[in-house]
């Protein structure tokens, strides 16, 4: 998919680059991002919204993969940006991302983070709870600012996805509950606070969702809530944000729909619900993360040792693992892989791909069918663009890998591999613990 292909030597190529050459140049493990595919996905969203005729913003959810180069691409493609911490905000600002197109999320923004975002004059705060409403109003007032606000509401939609990543249901740490009246009260309060301009409401129902129904139901619940707010408080919302969560194909059997199908379902639901009630149709914002970067990413590893337990299982180990991709250990996520230096060879041996961490659960792929993997081969694990680098850790003091962007036969290093000195960079050895020399 994307710009991936197999060249005459049987090597996997991405963006016109032979991955065996990338491995030589940058080492492994290595995250490789197909820049053309990222841009294509971004354009699919923008084109689909243009076709709807509605006003819109597509905000890339940078939690999926936040590095300066990615922020620069999002900005070039005309996307807005969703950030959830000072670190993601800083990354965006450092990349020159226009502050007006940054939306700040999170259920526990600290006063310092809010001050940083106020100073940067970001476009919108997505307020999650009553404490934050009061804090933001006070801090904005201190600076003589009036800030744009969306209220995150939980519309009571349970999307069919992994329990840990579904968020639209009532029992959630996020947002104001619609059912128990908190959301309505929040609207009334926000509307009266002097230092904020209430733009509307936000809802996010979960992640890696395939069916359109969840999005349609969320859109109509948000619409019904908006109508009630208009009828009882005489407030109309200029903006509705329906979050992210659009699924991608990781393995055979995953059945995501084309981006345009999700966008059409959402925009149609909005038109139906608001149009019928002669409510001025709000601008629609969405926040895709995974579906912008997920399938554009590949992680390249070198295969090291193996262990055959006859009649039970054969393990092959790679030079990374749960430190660069915690998703299998956390969510039992499934991935596919190919032996990248023999990509055309028939896959005929079933192995379990293990990482190098001291933890039995550090398995990237259980029962993976590969072309006779040998020590020294390169293994490409596919669709690792989202929530891999961004969730990577230094467990076992393993260094985070490099990231390269590839396009038209060229590669650019966008994150360099951590050095061993980076690993100890923040350590302090108190004088009394230093060895006398």
Q: Which residues bind ligand LLP (CB under 6 A)?
A: 61, 63-64, 82, 105, 165, 204, 207-208, 243-246, 287-291, 327, 331, 387
Tokens 């030597």 label which residue? 9
245 is in an annotated binding site: yes
As measured in angstroms, the least distance from the Cβ of 59 to ligand LLP is 8
Q: Yes or no: say if 319 and 28 are a contact pair by the CB < 8 Å rule.
A: yes
Is 432 annotated among the ligand-binding residues? no
Instruction: Give the number of other CB atoms < 10 A from CB of residue 185.
Output: 12
Classify strands 283-286 and 17-18 as parallel, antiparallel or unpaired. Answer: unpaired
Judged by CB, which is closer to ligand LLP: 69, or 159?
159
What region, left, alpha or beta, does residue 2 occupy, with left being phi > 0 and alpha being psi -120 to 50 degrees?
left
Q: How buried is residue 94: exposed, middle or buried, by Cβ count under 10 Å (0-12/13-18/19+)?
A: exposed
Q: How far is the CB of 65 from ligand LLP (least distance, A)?
A: 9
Q: How far is the CB of 322 from ligand LLP (least distance, A)?
A: 13
Q: Which is nearer to ligand LLP, 146 or 264 (CB)?
A: 264
> Which among 325, 303, 328, 329 is positioned nearest to 385, based on CA atoms?
325
Question: Residue 194, annotated ligand binder?
Answer: no
Closest approach, Cβ 53 to ligand LLP, in A, equals 24
Give the nearer residue to ligand LLP in terms of CB position, either 77 or 82. 82
Using CB atoms within 10 A of its CB, is residue 136 exposed (0-12), middle (13-18) or buried (19+)?
A: buried
**Nearest approach, Cβ of 45 to ligand LLP (angstroms)?**
11
Q: Which residues are catalytic?
A: 358
Is 287 annotated to bind a ligand? Reply is: yes
Nearer to ligand LLP, 30 or 286 (CB): 286
Residue 288 counted as an annotated binding residue: yes
**Are 148 and 140 a contacting pair, CB within 8 Å?**
no
List the structure tokens of 313: 């299982």
Give, to the nearest 10 degrees, the angle between helix 259-276 and helix 213-233: 30
* Residue 111, marked binder: no
Of residues 87 and 275, the one with the C-beta less far from ligand LLP:
87
**Strand-pair category, 12-14 with 5-6:** antiparallel
Please give the C-alpha separations between residue 25 and each of 19, 221, 325, 406, in angstroms, as whole numbers: 10, 52, 22, 13
Annotated binding residue at 289?
yes
Beta 363-370 vs 239-241: how paired, if at all? unpaired
Return binding residues for substrate.
290, 327, 331, 359, 387
Which residue ranges make up the annotated binding site for pyridoxal 5'-phosphate?
Answer: 245, 287-290, 387
> What residue numbers does the annotated binding site cover?
245, 287-290, 327, 331, 359, 387
């Amino acid at each position: 998919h994307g710009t991936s292909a197999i060249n005459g030597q049987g090597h996997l190529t991405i963006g016109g680059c032979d991955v065996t050459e990338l491995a030589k140049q940058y080492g492994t493990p290595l995250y490789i991002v197909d820049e053309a595919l990222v841009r294509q996905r971004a354009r699919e969203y923008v084109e689909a919204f243009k076709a709807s005729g509605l006003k819109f913003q597509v905000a890339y959810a940078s939690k999926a993969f936040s590095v300066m180069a990615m922020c620069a691409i999002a900005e070039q493609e005309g996307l807005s940006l969703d950030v959830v911490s000072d670190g993601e905000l800083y990354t965006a600002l450092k990349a020159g991302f226009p502050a007006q197109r940054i939306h700040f999320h999170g259920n526990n923004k600290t006063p310092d983070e809010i001050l940083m975002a106020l100073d940067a004059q970001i476009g919108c705060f997505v307020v999650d709870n009553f404490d934050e409403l009061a804090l933001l109003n006070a801090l904005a007032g201190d600076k003589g600012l009036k800030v744009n606000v969306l209220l995150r509401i939980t519309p009571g939609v349970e999307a069919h996805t992994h329990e840990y990543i579904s968020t639209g249901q009532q029992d959630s740490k996020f947002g104001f509950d619609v059912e128990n009246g908190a959301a309505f009260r929040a609207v009334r309060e926000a509307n009266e606070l002097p230092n904020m301009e209430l733009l509307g409401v936000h809802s996010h129902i979960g992640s890696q969702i395939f069916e359109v129904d969840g999005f349609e139901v969320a859109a109509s619940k948000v619409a019904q809530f908006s109508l009630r707010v208009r009828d009882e408080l005489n407030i109309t919302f200029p903006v509705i944000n329906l979050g992210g969560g659009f699924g991608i194909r990781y393995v055979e059997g995953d059945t995501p729909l084309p981006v345009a199908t999700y966008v059409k379902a959402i925009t149609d639901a909005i038109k139906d619900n608001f149009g019928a009630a002669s409510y001025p149709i709000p601008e629609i914002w969405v926040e895709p993360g995974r579906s912008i970067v997920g399938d554009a990413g590949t992680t390249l590893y070198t295969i090291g040792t193996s262990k055959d337990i006859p009649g039970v299982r054969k393990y092959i180990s790679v030079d990374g693992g749960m430190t660069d991709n915690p998703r299998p250990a956390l969510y039992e996520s499934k991935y596919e892989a190919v032996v990248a230096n023999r990509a055309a060879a028939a896959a005929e041996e079933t192995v379990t791909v293990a990482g190098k961490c001291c933890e039995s659960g550090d398995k990237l792929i259980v029962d993976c069918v590969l072309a006779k993997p040998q020590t020294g081969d390169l293994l490409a694990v596919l669709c690792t663009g989202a929530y891999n680098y961004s969730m990577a850790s230094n467990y076992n003091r393993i260094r985070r890998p490099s990231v390269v962007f590839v396009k038209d036969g060229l590669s650019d290093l966008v994150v360099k591999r951590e050095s061993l000195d980076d690993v100890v960079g923040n350590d302090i050895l108190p004088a009394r613990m230093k060895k006398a020399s």
